[in-house]
Amino acid sequence: MALFRFLLNDEIVETEAPAGMAVLDFVRDRVGLKGTKHACREGDCGACLVLLGELTSSGELHYRALTSCLLPIGEAEGRHLVTVEGLAGAGLGPVQQAIVDEGASQCGFCTPGFVVAMTGHLLNTESFELDEALIALAGNLCRCTGYASIRRAIAYLLDDLRGTVEDGPDRIAALTRAGVLPPYFTTVGERLAALESLSPEGAADGPLVAGGSDLYVQRLHELEPATPRLLLRELPAGIHTEDCDLVLSATTTAEDLKRSAVLRATLGDLSRFLDLICSEPVRQRATIGGNIVNASPIGDMTILLLALDAELVLACESERRRTPLRAFYRGYKQVDLGPGEIIESVRFPATRRSGAFNFEKVSKRTYLDIASVNSAAWLRLDGDRIDEAILSAGGVAPIPMRLAATEALLAGQRISAELARRAADVARAEVKPISDVRGSADYKRLLLGQLVIAHLHVLCGIDARELVEAAG
């Protein structure tokens, strides 16, 4: 096992722990920091949140709040790992004090996660608005149902810090002066810059891990003793234009998609769609490449990209080849990847900005849940006609699929409620869902038809009353 080094709270740590070990297990069992709670182990509850800070290419220190149950300790190498203990100062800081003052702690088990999540939000937010803070805390669950008091504590905290912290050029320094961060945070940047790597090149000999947001749920016992190849460290994330295409690195995360100005200029604001997928700590890790390779029939990011007619760039050492995403799936959990190949990037035409894009999802919970059925649509409109249509659907076949027959029906047609009804019928006829815990086959067909109608309502402006009348 390789020796690696990182900053844990205010101390430099050197360890030979397997790089694949979950941070949750490392900080609790190896170091004895019990404030990070062991709960769902699926990234759903937020009780195990930690902060991970790293120096960017411009030398700035950037922190993210992450679920430690899905985070390999190897990701901490050369970085700053912060548990709730590392946020303690001489007394209660403003975050903890607001929780106490508003009675926002019931049994207390979830409280460390809320403290870490709120601190992470304060390190990064630009708006200091309550709605944005609540989205940042959407992945934290309080089983005692104390949300009203938690909301009050957050609102009080934002009001207290707005103006004194919001406009400061150095957020870390401003939060340190406000007592949100302990004083040692002001020295972290220079300490990380002086930290030398101890890991030899090529030390990774285990499985490939990108975000690990599904792998660490499904294959924890295989990953924990391993030294995985950490793709998020190897392939820089990024979204850029190249040869009239938008190119997304395979390590681009769901949160990168949400915040990308380049993507927003092409497809509009995707926040409403991406907030449905998972909580912010999971969006900070979940990658498009991982979502595609996972080959789930209901992978949300895969369904989004299918409706853009995306193409994959596959790499094996110095060799590259391209394949359409729609042709990548060979069967249930079977993909077109050769030995040693990885997805390097995903690309689609920048001309998609000339159309309109929509994503719909139905799940048992509105947020942070796996879809029963999901669907995306891209339409190019010419007046009252649909010039071109691309539609995708998940949860209705063994693979994420394009709705080819529905696309053919819509292309060149005049927009009408009757067309929407016919498109829903064709979509239901071209899929083969199965009955499972998320609904019967008949229910999923019904859902898909309704989602196709929803696309045409949103993108074409078909009046809802006309749709009801057309449905008979």
**Residue 411 exposed, middle or buried by CB count within 10 Å (0-12, 13-18, 19+):** middle
283 shares a domain with 421: no
d(CA 274, CA 28) in angstroms, rounded, equals 32
Name the DSSP class of 375. Answer: E
Q: How far apart are CA 433 and CA 207, in angstroms?
A: 32
| Average pLDDT per 10 consecutive residues for the chain, totaling 472 residues | 88 94 96 95 94 92 96 96 92 91 89 96 92 92 86 94 83 94 96 83 76 91 89 91 94 94 92 90 95 95 97 95 97 94 96 94 86 97 96 97 98 95 97 95 96 95 77 58
Taking CA 75 as the corner, what is the angle to CA 69 and CA 80, rounded to the nearest 5 degrees?
95
Distance CA 303, CA 197 (A): 39
Q: What's the CATH code of the domain at 466?
A: 3.30.390.50
Domain final position from 131, 164, 193: 193
Residue 104 and residue 18 in one domain: yes
Residue 214 lies in a domain: no
Q: Do 256 and 329 belong together in one domain?
A: yes
**End-to-end distance of the chain based on CA atoms, in angstroms?**
67
Give the pLDDT of residue 201: 60
Residue 212 lies in a domain: no
Is residue 98 a part of any domain in this protein?
yes
Cα dist from 2 to 17, 19, 27, 225, whole Å: 8, 8, 18, 12
Q: Point out which residues pair with 247 in neighbouring strands.
A: 240, 347
Q: Tokens for 349? A: 């035409």
Tell whether 207 is covered by a domain: no
DSSP line for 267-309: H---HHHHTTTS-HHHHTT-BHHHHHHHT-TT-HHHHHHHTTT
Q: How far apart are CA 41 and CA 462, in angstroms?
A: 44
Sign of the CA dihedral running 244, 249, 253, 255: negative
What is the three-state SS of 176-206?
HHCCCCCHHHHHHHHHHHCCCCCCCCCCCCC
**366, 312: one domain:** no
Asked if residue 134 and residue 118 are part of one domain, the reply reads yes
In 3D space, the residue among 325, 334, 471 whose CA is nearest the CA of residue 392 turns out to be 325
pLDDT at 203: 62
End of a domain among 303, 329, 353? Answer: 353
Q: How far is CA 178 from CA 47, 83, 114, 115, 226, in A?
A: 25, 19, 19, 15, 41
Domain boundary residue, one of 333, 353, 373: 353
Residue 345 lies in a domain: yes
CB 102 within 8 A of CB 156: yes
> Residue 202: inside a domain, yes or no?
no
Structure tokens belonging to residue 424: 């829903």
Instruction: Examine residue 253 and state whether it is found in any structural domain, yes or no.
Output: yes
Looking at the structure, do residues 15 and 158 belong to the same domain, yes or no? yes
- Indicate the number of domains in the chain: 3
Instruction: Give the CA distances from residue 91 to residues 111, 164, 315, 449, in Å, rounded to whole numbers and listed in that order.
Output: 16, 20, 52, 57
Give the CATH number, domain containing residue 60.
3.10.20.30
Same domain, 46 and 140: yes
- Which residue type is seen at 247? V
Q: Rg for the chain (alpha carbons), in Å?
A: 23
CA distance 35 to 113: 9
CA atoms of 392 and 407, how far apart (whole Å): 9
Q: Which residue blocks in 125-250 are alpha helix, DSSP H?
A: 130-136, 147-161, 171-177, 188-193, 215-218, 220-223, 231-234
Give yes or no: residues 65 and 148 share one domain. Answer: yes
Residue 217 belongs to some domain of the structure: no
Rounded-to-integer distance, Cα 17 and Cα 154, Å: 37
45, 121: one domain: yes
Q: In this structure, are 275 and 238 located in the same domain? A: yes
- Of 405, 398, 393, 390, the C-alpha closest to 432 is 398
d(CA 105, CA 114): 10
Residues 365 and 270 in one domain: no
Question: Of 83, 86, 80, 87, which Cα lies nearest the Cα of 193?
Answer: 80
User: What CATH number is attached to the domain comprising 334?
Assistant: 3.30.465.10
Instruction: Specify the 3-state DSSP secondary structure of 328.
Output: coil
- Euclidean distance between CA atoms 2 and 117, whole angstroms: 31
Residues pairing with 11 in the sheet: 8
What's the confidence (pLDDT) of residue 89? 81
Range of the domain at 48: 4-193
Looking at the structure, do residues 254 and 147 belong to the same domain, yes or no?
Answer: no
Q: How far apart are CA 111 and CA 113, in angstroms?
A: 5
